[in-house]
């Protein structure tokens, strides 16, 4: 009897005993930190023990969370040099593809040689049930799954695209799936289709020539020693590179398009959003409750500091906002003189709680993916002022979906902005579209956070979910395109032609002979 009791207790204990999970979101951008934090929070809530590699460690982590701080004092400087508002306005922003690849390479190197991560990888007592890492244009972190002897899961922060789907299945068809850096949306016209093919082919070439070799080398150099220390063979990087069990994608049809997806891709956009809306602070609640004509919320996100905006643009913005009968809430890092009575400035804003309020009728945003996702989550139309990276694509997509207008950041943006606000406030179709998409977004069998936990546990339970692995990974390109069959057909046709020619000729000669005779 006592024995049974112990057995039961042991069963209960082992049931409560969560998995050991390593989560890695190395990029020092606020939104990446938020997405990583979302993954960690859901896994902790499900009772797992999480080791989190992050440049943004929390002050007082909960007891099941171990943080590996990989912050780098140079990150801040690197970021502000990229996001120089004046350069953006003058059109001097220097973001080329080769710059981007160099940025990714140096980031990979900084992260993998950070003393805290080196220490973790070198600790042979550490093992994890699964490793989860953010994919950011490089596949190198998949090496950590091999180091720690565990299945590996990617988190993709954007819409599914050929580069990442190629890791678990095959590259998508550029005739109807745009490149991750393209703002083209299907159906493409002829030029658009050619452009997408060009982007994909050059992208493949760039990866082949500038990234693949580097990745193999970085794998051997920076991760290899830890593999050898654990007594395992240093296998070629491609064996690890194409061995991820799953991709958790921060995407959903309501936000993007109905891209055909492999079994090992799970779209879970919106998992970072709290399932219960946090109450607003008293002053903001009062402001929103009393906004009789509705409230417009304006925020340029966390990277671009609005105080870096030139004074003339600030003055113009105040003039536009001051001329509205709506209340305007502007997230801004400094106090402004001569504030119109309907404009309110806050240094920090609980964005989700503001968007959730029924009196919030319009969101003016830089168009970061998290902000556009939150707009759809709460069903609010947007005006996008994109400044950087994927923001242009996010806004263009929202415009095509019909719940947004785009205004370009420029010295003379006063009139276009005023016109856009006017349009969105008067034409109800934008708000209606946002509501319709919100219905699509919410109407899922399970909430995205639950799905995140489910699939992560599924990978652990089934030791890497090999049943989800696409057979396409093991089929060479020439077989996918049936080039071997084509070669065979051509060969047969060639031989047939030869035979026919021979037969004809011999017939002719026979006939000729007969005639002669
Ligand atoms: C590939 O993944 C499977 C399942 O997670 C694992 O069992 C296997 O060891 C991995 N292979 C390599 C080379 O990492």
Is residue 11 included in any domain, yes or no?
no
Whether 361 and 423 share a structural domain: yes
Residues 6 or more apart in contact with residue 91 via CB below 8 angstroms: none
**91 or 258, greater pLDDT:** 258
The CA-based angle 457-372-329, given to 5 degrees, is: 125
Residues 6 or more apart in contact with residue 54 via CB below 8 angstroms: 24, 25, 26, 33, 36, 67, 68, 69, 70
Number of domains in the chain: 3
Whether 435 and 454 share a structural domain: no
- What is the extent of the structural domain holding 504? 479-516
| Cα–Cα distance measured from residue 174 to residue 201, given in angstroms and rounded to the nearest whole number | 9
Confidence of residue 95 (pLDDT cuts 50, 70, 90): low
**504 or 246, greater pLDDT:** 246
Residue among 22, 151, 264, 473 to mutate when testing ligand 1 (max atoms within 8 A of CB):
151
**184 or 299, greater pLDDT:** 299
359-410: pLDDT as tens digits: 999 999 999 999 999 999 999 999 999 988 788 889 999 999 999 999 999 9
Q: Decide if pLDDT at 51 tops 80.
A: yes
Would you say 51 and 20 are in contact if contact means Cβ atoms under 8 Å apart?
Answer: yes
| Cα–Cα distance measured from residue 416 to residue 275, given in angstroms and rounded to the nearest whole number | 36
Whether 213 and 259 share a structural domain: yes
User: What Å distances lie between residue 242 and 49, 139, 140, 236, 331, CA to CA?
Assistant: 27, 9, 11, 11, 43
Ligand 1 centroid to residue 151 C-alpha, Å:
6
Q: Which atom of ligand 1 is nearest to the CA of 150?
A: 5
Is residue 3 included in any domain, yes or no?
no
337-347: pLDDT as tens digits: 889 999 999 99
Whether 248 and 329 share a structural domain: no
Would you say 222 and 138 are in contact if contact means Cβ atoms under 8 Å apart?
Answer: no
Is residue 86 included in any domain, yes or no?
yes
Q: What is the CATH classification number for the domain harbouring 397?
A: 3.40.50.2000
Mean pLDDT value across residues 313-326: 94
Longest dimension (CA), the chain: 116
- Record the tokens describing residue 516, joined without a space: 């002669």
Whether 152 and 262 share a structural domain: yes
Ligand 1 centroid to residue 227 C-alpha, Å:
14
| Cα–Cα distance measured from residue 370 to residue 358, given in angstroms and rounded to the nearest whole number | 20
Residues 6 or more apart in contact with residue 66 via CB below 8 angstroms: 49, 50, 51, 52
Mean pLDDT of the chain: 91
Measured in degrees and rounded to the nearest 5, phi and psi for residue 453 equal: -65, -45
Is residue 4 included in any domain, yes or no?
no
For residue 221, what pLDDT is reported? 97
Q: Say whether 393 sits in a helix, a strand or coil.
A: helix
Domain-terminating residue out of 423, 442, 461 = 442
Is residue 2 included in any domain, yes or no?
no
Q: Which atom of ligand 1 is nearest to the CA of 243?
A: 1
Report the C-alpha dihedral over residues 85, 88, 92, 94, rounded to 10 degrees: 90
Handedness of CA 431, 436, 439, 444 (dihedral sign): negative
Whether 286 and 161 share a structural domain: no
- Cis before residue 187, ω within 30 degrees of 0? yes
Residue among 144, 463, 464 to mutate when testing ligand 1 (max atoms within 8 A of CB):
464
For residue 456, what pLDDT is reported? 98
Is residue 5 included in any domain, yes or no?
no
Confidence of residue 189 (pLDDT cuts 50, 70, 90): very high
Q: Decide if pLDDT at 242 tops 70.
A: yes
User: What Å distances lie between residue 214 and 59, 113, 232, CA to CA?
Assistant: 36, 15, 22
Whether 340 and 456 share a structural domain: no
Q: Tell the residue nearest (CA) to atom 1 of ligand 1.
A: 243
Which residues are near ligand 1 (CB < 6 Å)? 146, 151, 235, 239-240, 243, 245, 464, 466
For residue 103, what pLDDT is reported? 87
Whether 198 and 100 share a structural domain: yes
């Amino acid at each position: 009897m006592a024995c049974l009791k112990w057995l039961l207790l042991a069963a209960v204990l082992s049931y409560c005993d969560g998995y050991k999970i390593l989560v890695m979101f190395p990029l020092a951008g606020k939104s990446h930190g938020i997405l990583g934090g979302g993954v960690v929070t859901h896994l902790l809530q499900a009772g797992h023990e999480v080791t989190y590699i992050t440049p943004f460690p929390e002050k007082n982590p909960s007891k099941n969370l171990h943080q590996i701080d990989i912050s780098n004092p140079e990150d801040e400087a690197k970021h502000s040099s990229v996001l120089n508002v004046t350069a953006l306005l003058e059109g001097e922003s220097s973001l080329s593809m080769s710059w981007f690849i160099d940025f990714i390479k140096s980031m990979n190197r900084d992260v993998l040689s950070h003393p805290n991560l080196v220490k973790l990888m070198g600790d042979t007592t550490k093992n994890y049930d699964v490793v989860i890492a953010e994919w950011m244009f490089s596949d190198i972190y998949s090496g950590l799954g091999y180091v720690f002897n565990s299945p590996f899961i990617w988190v993709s922060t954007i819409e599914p695209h050929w580069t990442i789907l190629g890791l678990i299945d095959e590259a998508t068809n550029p005739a109807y799936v745009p490149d991750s850096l393209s703002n083209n949306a299907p159906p493409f016209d002829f030029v658009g289709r050619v452009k997408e093919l060009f982007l994909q082919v050059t992208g493949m070439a760039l990866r082949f020539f500038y990234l693949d070799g580097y990745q193999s080398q970085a794998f051997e150099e920076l991760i290899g020693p830890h593999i050898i220390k654990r007594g395992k063979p240093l296998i070629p990087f491609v064996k690890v590179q194409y061995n991820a069990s799953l991709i958790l994608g921060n995407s959903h049809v309501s936000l993007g398009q109905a891209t055909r997806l492999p079994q090992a891709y799970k779209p879970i956009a919106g998992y970072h959003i709290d399932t219960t809306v946090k109450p607003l602070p008293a002053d903001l609640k009062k402001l929103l409750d009393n906004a009789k004509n509705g409230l417009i919320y304006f925020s340029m996100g966390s990277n671009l500091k609005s105080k870096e905006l030139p004074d003339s643009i600030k003055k113009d913005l105040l003039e536009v906002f001051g001329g509205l009968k709506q209340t305007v809430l502007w997230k801004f890092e400094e106090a402004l003189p001569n504030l119109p009575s309907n404009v309110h400035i806050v240094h920090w804003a609980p964005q989700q709680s503001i968007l959730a309020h029924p009196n919030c009728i319009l969101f003016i945003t830089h168009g970061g993916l998290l902000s556009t996702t939150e707009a759809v989550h709460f069903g609010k139309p947007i005006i996008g002022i994109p400044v950087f990276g994927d923001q242009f694509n996010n806004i263009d997509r929202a415009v095509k979906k019909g719940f947004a207008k785009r205004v370009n950041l420029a010295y003379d943006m006063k009139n276009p902005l005023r016109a856009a606000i006017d349009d969105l406030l008067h034409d109800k179709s934008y708000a209606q579209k946002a509501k319709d998409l919100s219905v699509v977004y919410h109407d899922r069998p399970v909430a995205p956070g639950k799905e995140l936990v489910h699939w992560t546990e599924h990978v652990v339970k089934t030791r890497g979910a090999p049943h989800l692995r696409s057979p396409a990974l093991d089929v060479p390109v020439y077989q996918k395109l049936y080039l071997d069959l084509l070669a065979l057909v051509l060969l047969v046709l060639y031989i047939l032609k030869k035979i026919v020619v021979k037969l004809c000729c011999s017939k002719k000669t026979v006939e000729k002979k007969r005639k002669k005779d």
